[in-house]
Homo-oligomer: A and B are copies of this chain.
Amino acid sequence: MKQARRREVIRTGTTVEQMVRAIADMIVTGALLPGEKLDEISLASRFEVSRTPVREALRELGAMGLVGREPNRSAVVTNVTETHLHSMFEAMAELEGICARLSAERMTVDERRALELDHRGSMRLVHSGAEEEYAAHNTEFHTRLYRGAHNDHVFEMVTQTRARLAPFRRAQFRLPGRLAKSYEEHDQIVMAIMRADSVAAGQAAYSHVAIVSDASAVFATAGE
């Protein structure tokens, strides 16, 4: 089987998963425009597969909200306008705020310790300017917050939202000085959580995301 250029993402094994990612990327990057029809036959030939996996991918994209579906109609690209993007970042900030607030109230002693340790350890990455590594740490850090809220459904929502925003945030740590800023903001959150100050933790997390949102908006528009 030939998979020449289809490997660009990650080897997720199943064809459908690859297509979901590929099409999702095309939508968020603007390669597919809002309102555009996605007929199964064209997609099938474009990806060199049959219609069956295409249909499953479209159904998943529909569940993700990236395409609209109606019976006996072609799937159409959902309008991921600037305002919608903004609404996702705002929602993300709210969710992060909730997670941080609940984390401040509910994290176990072990979770708090692990969070602080991980956070302190990241200072080294800031100093050495290791963007890639810091990005990985950043993901880990936020995941700890999501877990610390001890609420499965909130975890789901925030994880999914983050996934949908991922394409828009890729380059954020390339901005000069963003690493150090990020560390400082994390510091605010960690300290609030350590002293179980839920209000402060929530607010710190909220503005942390709001700042990232602004930073990413630069790239989103610049990328066009």
A151 touches B56 (CB 8 A): no
A73-106, CB < 8 A from B: 83-84, 87-88, 90-91, 94, 98
A156–B92 Cα distance when bound, in Å, is 13
Asked whether A35 is an interface residue with its Cβ less than 8 Å from the other chain, the reply is no
Residue of B nearest to A150 (CB): B87
CB of A153 within 8 A of CB of B88, answer yes
8 A Cβ contacts from A96-154 to B:
98, 151-154
Question: What mask results when residues 176 to 220 of chain A are scored 1 for a CB within 8 Å of chain B, else 0?
Answer: 000000000000000000000000000000000000000000000
Report the bound CA distance from A59 to B59 in whole Å: 7
Contact A94 B98 (CB under 8 A): yes
Chain A 58-73 per-residue mask, 1 if CB under 8 angstroms from chain B, else 0: 0110111100000100
Beta-carbon contact of B65 and A64 below 8 Å: no
How many residues of chain A get a CB closer than 8 Å to chain B's CBs? Answer: 28
SS of A interface (majority): helix
| Nearest-Cβ distance from residue A91 to partner chain B, whole angstroms | 4
In the complex, A52 has a CB within 8 A of chain B: yes
Please name all residues of chain B whose beta carbon is closer than 8 Å to the beta carbon of A13 when the two chains form the complex: 71
Indicate if the CB atoms of A151 and B91 lie closer than 8 Å: yes
Is A157 part of the contact surface with B, judged by Cβ < 8 Å?
Answer: yes
Write the chain B residue with the least CB distance to A64.
B63
- Most chain B CB neighbours (cut-off 10 Å) among A63, A64, A98, A161: A63
19 contacts between A and B (CB under 8 A): A13-B71, A16-B59, A52-B52, A59-B60, A59-B63, A60-B60, A63-B63, A63-B64, A84-B153, A87-B151, A87-B153, A87-B154, A88-B152, A88-B153, A91-B151, A91-B154, A94-B98, A94-B154, A157-B161
Q: Which 8 A-B pairs have the closest CB atoms?
A: A63-B63, A91-B153, A87-B151, A88-B153, A87-B152, A87-B153, A91-B154, A14-B71
A binding-site residues for B, Cβ under 8 Å: 13-14, 16, 52, 55-56, 59-60, 62-65, 71, 83-84, 87-88, 90-91, 94, 98, 151-154, 156-157, 161
